[in-house]
Structures are given as C-alpha cells and as structure tokens.
Amino acid sequence: MDSKDKLRKAGLRPTKQRMIIANILLDGVNRHFTAENLQDEINSSGNSMSIATVYNCLKKFRNCGLIKQIETSNDTAIFDTNTHQHHHFLNEETGELIDIEDDEINLKSLPKIPQGYYSNGVEVLIKLKKQD
C-alpha cells in the first residue's frame, strides 16, 4: 500500500505535502521526532514546507491515528510513529526517549475507570538519571 492509499484509508485528502510527510513517516520504522526534526528531514529530502503546514499535517495525522503524541512535559511536542500501546524511558537531562514494548511491562490490576469514561490508552514513563 503506497502513501496515497494510506492517507485515503485514514480519511485524509492526499495532498502533495501530506504525501511528502507520509513517505518519510509511514515507512514502518519507529521514530520519535519534533515538528522541527520533521521539517529538517523534509528539507534534506529535497522538498520544503512551511512550518505551519508541518504542524497542520502533524495534527491531522495524530487525530487520524497515523502517529501519536507522547505525554511528556518537554517544552517541544514529541511525536511517535509507533502507534501501538507501548511505553518509554525518558532521559530527563537530554530529553531522549527509548521505547519499552508493551509486553515488557506487566500492568496487573488497573484501577477502576471513573464512571462515564473509558480508557483511551495507558502510558508508562520511567524517568532515568545518570549514575554518579
């Protein structure tokens, strides 16, 4: 399935700009990135795109479930092409994130979800500090 089909299937009109981004992000390789990271990759692929469009596309991709945004109090939003439930180590000094696969963490006994709500995902974050 090519990028155009992936966009159509996600309900997004396949514009030139979204195709460029889909070609970079939806290659099956898991990556964590910021809007600026992505714009740099777009530039080095010989294309260019306004930062407003990068943000517009990331929001659309996120709302469609093509990517997700990681819950971190970093001052720059970090996105993730791994859309399966999984978790992260966070190096608080550098901001670096490392994936933890879902089966590496055994979450027994989740608390009762408040009345009228349902769980829309569980994220475990393990904050790391350098020894000594």
Partner DNA sequence: AAGTAGTTTAGAATGATTTTAAAGTGAAAA
Partner DNA sequence: TTTTCACTTTAAAATCATTCTAAACTACTT
State yes or no: residue 17 binds DNA (CB under 7 A). Answer: yes
Which one of 1-9, 23-31, 43-51, 123-131 is the stretch in contact with a second copy (CB under 8 A)?
A: 123-131
DSSP letters, 21-35, are HHHHH-SS---EE-H
Q: At what angle do helices 51-64 and 16-25 cross, to 10 degrees?
A: 70
Tokens of 79: 């996105």
Task: Report in angstroms how near the CB of residue 5 gets to a second copy at its nearest.
Answer: 28
Which one of 28-36, 85-93, 99-107, 124-132 is the stretch in contact with DNA (CB under 7 A)?
A: 28-36
Output the CA–CA distances (angstroms, integers) from residue 99 to 3, 79, 120, 130, in the order listed: 25, 13, 19, 18
State yes or no: residue 122 binds a second copy (CB under 8 A). Answer: yes
Q: Kindly tell me which residue out of 16, 75, 94, 118 binds Mn ion, with binding defined by CB under 5 A.
A: 75
Number of residues assigned to the chain:
132
The site for Mn ion (CB under 5 A) is made up of: 75, 77
